[in-house]
Amino acid sequence: MSVITYRQALRDTLRAEMQRDENVFLIGEEIGHFEGSYKITEGLLKEFGPRRVRDTPIAEEGFVGAAIGAAMLGLRPVVEIMTINFSLLALDQIVNHAAKIYGMFGGQCSVPMVIRTPGGGGQQLGATHSQNIELFYSFVPGLKVLAPSTPAEAASMLRAAIRDDDPVLFLENLGLYNTKGEVPDEPDAEPEVAQIGRAAVVRPGTDITLIGYSRMAGVALQVADELAKDGVSAEVVDLRSLRPLDRTTIVESVRRTGSAVVAEDDWLTYGIGAEIAATIQEGAFDWLDAPVARVAMAEVPLPYAKSLETAALPCAESLAAAARRTLRATGRLR
Amino acid sequence: MTEIFMPRLSDTVEEGVIAAWHKKPGDPVAAGDSLVDIETDKAVMEHEAYEEGTLAEILVPEGGTAKIGEPIAVLVATGETPPTAPTRPPAAPETPAPARAQAQAPATATAPAVAAAAQPQDGRAPTSPLARRLAKEYGLDIAAITGTGPGGRVIRADVENAANAANAGNAAKPADAAQAASTASAAGAAPAAATDDGKDSVEAPLSRLRKVAARRLVQSKQEAPHIYLRRTVDAEALREFRSVVNDGREENKVSPNDLILKACATALRRHPDLNSSWVDDRLLHHRRVHLGVAVATDDGLLVPVVRDADRLQLTELAARTRELAAGARARTLTPQELGGSTFTVSNLGMFGVDGFQAVINPPEAAILAVGAISKQPMVVGDEVVARHTLELNLSVDHRACDGATAAQFLAELVDLLEDPLRIVV
C-alpha cells in the first residue's frame, strides 16, 4: 500500500492500462503537450507518443464523435472532457450515439469508450464551470456512470471502466484531485478491478444511513465521525455507480437503520437524491421510521463570490444538521 | 406549577374518562394522595398525585374524556399563585417552517418543508411505516400508542417501549383483554325502552368495552380462519369427582368449570400447538399457559387471565378464578390481570346453553366453548341411556394448527374429563 492522491491514482491507472492494452488511447483538449488541465495525463505523451495521446481542438462534439467511431472499430478510447460542463457540447454524441449504437444496430458493435470528466464546485470557476450534471447521463439507458470518491476507488473503477465494453461516463471531482488515500501497489498483485454497479457500505452503523457519492461520500464519512461523538452509529453508503444503481445495498442499509439522509452535490429538485429516496420508499417503506431527508446544492446558478459559493454548496454542517433532524425524529438523538 | 396528565393505563387505552375527582380546586394535595378515578375500556383506576401542592384547577371535569398525555388538572406549589389562564390544550404540533425561510438559513437545499411535519387533518395520529409494521408484529394496537416523534408521530421507539411495558407483566402476548370471546351478550342488557318520539330504532350508548370488543371480534373473524371441532363428554365421572372434592368443603368449592380449566391447562402443556399465536406470518409457541376466562359483566364481556394455570393446584385455580370473576364484575382488575392470555375458555352452561361456537380471542390460536352439563340420551354399548353429558366446541385458528392436531388435544381433554382423577394427579 502507498498513500497517493486521487490525481495520481488516475494517472497511474491510465498508464498501466495503456501498457497493458495497446488499444487504449487518450484523446482530449490539452492532454498532451500541456499534460492536462488538471495534470492527470502528466508524462503520458512523452511515454506513449502522439499516436496514443491525442491533443484535439476545442471541439467536444468532434472529438467525442471521433472516439465513438474508434471504439466501434475496436479501440478503447479514454476521452478527457476538461470539465463536465463542456460535455453539454457533446451531449448529442453521448446520448444519441454512444448510448444507442449497441441497441439500435442489433448488438453488431459496442462502444467501449470512457469519458473522464470532473464535476464539482467550490473552485470559484463561476456558474457555467462549476456544475454537477452527472444526473443528465445517469438518466440515460445505454450509459454507465461511475463516481469514485477515493484514490483507491478511482484506480479500481477507472480500470473497470476501461475494460468494460459499454460507454462509461467517469465522474471525477475538482475537489477530490488533491485528496490522498491508500492504494494497493500495482506490480505486487493483480490490480483490483471494481465491479460496476456496486455501492459500498464504507462505514457500518445502526442508527441512520447517510448516502453519498463522489465528494459527498467523503463528507458523509466525516459527518458519521462527528455523530459518533454524540453516540450515534451512522452507516455510510458510497453509491460509487450512479448507473447501474445498486438499489439492493441502499435498501438493505435502510432496512437496518430505519432512516436515511441522501447527500448530493447537484441540485435538489429531480436530483439523484430524489431517485434514491424513491428507491428507499419502494424497497424499505415498512422499515422507515422517518421520511428520507435530502441535502443538496442551493437551487441557484453557483455564485462566483467565495462566501456565496461556500454557502450554496452542501457541506458537512448541512449534512450533519439534516442527519440530526432525522435522528431526533426517530428518537435516536435528544 | 405542574400539569397533571392523563396517565397511560394500558397499551390499548387511547383515552380515559374522569370517573371522579377526589380533590377540588383549592384543596391541598400530598404526594400519594388519591387524586382522581379514571375509567378506561377495562377498569376504573385510581390515580395518585406524584407531587405535593395545591390543586389549582381541574381541566377535565367528571365525565369528561382526555387523551393520554393531555393535561387534566393543574397543581401549584403551596403558596404559588394559580395561573389565571388555563394551560389547556396540549401543545400544538410544530408547524413546518415556510420553505422560503428554510432556503435562507443554510443556503444549501434540503427536502422541501411541505412534507416535514404535516399533521393529518382527520385527527389520526401520524405513524411511521416502521412503527406500524412493528406494532403489527408485536400484536399492539398502534392507535393506542402515544407518539413522541415530530408532530406526535408514533416511531419505532414508542412501539418498542409499549412492547416492553406489555412484556413486563410476563404477558405472552400483549392482548387486548376486552376481547369478547364468545357470542354471549352482556348479562342484563335491557332492551331499549319504547319511546314516544316516533322512531322505531334508537342508537344505544356504547361502552368502551363493547367498542373494543367489536373491533377485536371483527379482526379475529377476518384474519383467523376458524375451524370448529365438537366433542360430547360423558360427565358422570366428572360430577361424581366434583362432589368428592367438595365433600365437607364449606368455602372455595370447585366448580365444573374449574375442573375444565385445570384439564385444559394440563392438556395444553402436552399440545403446544394449541397454546400458540399466529402473528404476521410467524407462529409463536408460548412456553407458559395463561388461561383467559370469559366473564359476562353489565358493561360487556371481560376475559381475566389465570397466569400459569398449569402450575396451580385445582383449589388454587378455583380460588383465583373466583377472585378474578368478582374483580371483573366490579371493574377493579388491572390491565395486567386482563391481558396476556394464551388460550381462552368460555362457558355458557350456566345459561342453559347446550353448546356453542366461540370466536377466537386474538392473538390466541384457539378457544374452548363449554355448554351445560345436562342429562341427554347417550349410546352406551348398544343401549340408549340417559346420562349427564357436556358439549365442548373448540374453535381453532387454522393458520396456527391443523384439524388433526386440534382433535388430539380435544381427545386428551375429553379423556381427562371422563377420568377426572387424572386432572389432579
Query: What domains appear along chain B, each with residue ranges and CATH number?
Result: 2-76 (2.40.50.100), 119-168 (4.10.320.10), 208-424 (3.30.559.10)
Write the pLDDT tens digit of every residue in B1-56: 777 888 877 666 778 888 888 888 888 888 888 889 888 776 778 888 877 888 88
Integer Cα distance of A63 and A75 in angstroms: 14
Mean of the per-residue pLDDT values for chain B? 81
The H helix count followed by the E strand count for chain B is 9, 20
Integer Cα distance of B303 and B135 in angstroms: 22
Considering chain A, tell me which residue range(s) the CATH 3.40.50.970 domain(s) occupy: 2-183
Mean of the per-residue pLDDT values for chain A? 95
Nearest to A286 among B106, B110, B129 (CB): B129
What's the fold here for domain A200-329? Rossmann fold (3.40.50)
Number of A–B residue contacts, CB under 8 Å: 84
Write the pLDDT tens digit of every residue in A191-218: 888 999 999 999 999 999 999 999 999 9
Q: In which band, very low, low, confident or very high, does the pLDDT at B215 lie, cut at 50, 70 and 90? A: confident
* Residue A15, C-alpha cell as written in the block: 498508464
Write the pLDDT tens digit of every residue in A32-83: 999 999 999 999 999 999 999 999 999 999 999 999 999 999 999 999 999 9
On chain B, the residues whose CB falls within 8 A of the CB of A287 are: 129-130, 133
Among A109-118, A176-185, B25-34, B201-210, the minimum mean pLDDT is found in B201-210
Active site residue A97: no
Nearest to B129 among A285, A299, A314 (CB): A285
On chain A, the residues whose CB falls within 8 A of the CB of B132 are: 286
Q: Does the structure show a pLDDT above 90 at A31?
A: yes
Higher-scoring residue by pLDDT: B196, B297: B297
Q: B156 vs A258: CB contact, 8 Å cut-off?
A: yes
Closest CA to A11 of A60, A51, A46: A46
Q: Does the structure show a pLDDT above 70 at B113?
A: no
Which of B102, B108, B158 would you mutate first to test chain A, the one with the most A CBs within 10 A? B108
Residue A53: strand, helix, or coil: strand
Nearest residue of A to residue B132 by CA position?
A286
Q: Please tell me the pTM assigned to this model.
A: 0.55
Among A171-175, B73-77, B166-170, B356-360, the minimum mean pLDDT is found in B166-170
Task: Give the closest-approach CA distance of B116 to chain A in angstroms.
Answer: 8
Q: Does the structure show a pLDDT above 60 at B201?
A: yes
Q: In which band, very low, low, confident or very high, does the pLDDT at A18 lie, cut at 50, 70 and 90? A: very high
On chain A, the residues whose CB falls within 8 A of the CB of B128 are: 288-290, 330
**What's chain B's Rg over C-alpha atoms?**
26
Integer Cα distance of A309 and A126 in angstroms: 9
Write the pLDDT tens digit of every residue in B82-111: 554 444 444 444 444 444 444 444 567 776
Among A146-160, A218-232, A311-325, B3-17, the minimum mean pLDDT is found in B3-17
Q: What is the CATH number of domain A2-183?
A: 3.40.50.970
Q: Does the structure show a pLDDT above 90 at B184?
A: no
Q: B157 vs A299: CB contact, 8 Å cut-off?
A: no
On chain B, the residues whose CB falls within 8 A of the CB of A300 are: 107
On chain B, the residues whose CB falls within 8 A of the CB of A291 are: 111, 115-116
Give the active site residue among A129, A186, A192, A226.
Answer: A129
Q: In which band, very low, low, confident or very high, does the pLDDT at A124 lie, cut at 50, 70 and 90? A: very high
Interface pTM (ipTM) of the complex? 0.77
Task: Give the closest-approach CA distance of B283 to chain A in angstroms.
Answer: 20
Q: What is the pLDDT of residue B209?
A: 75
Side by side, the strands of the sheet bearing B53-58 are B2-5, B71-76, B53-58, B28-29
Q: B149 vs A314: CB contact, 8 Å cut-off?
A: no
Considering chain A, tell me which residue range(s) the CATH 3.40.50.920 domain(s) occupy: 200-329
- Average pLDDT in the A12-25 region? 96
DSSP secondary structure code for residue B81 in this structure: P
Single-letter amino acid, residue A12: D
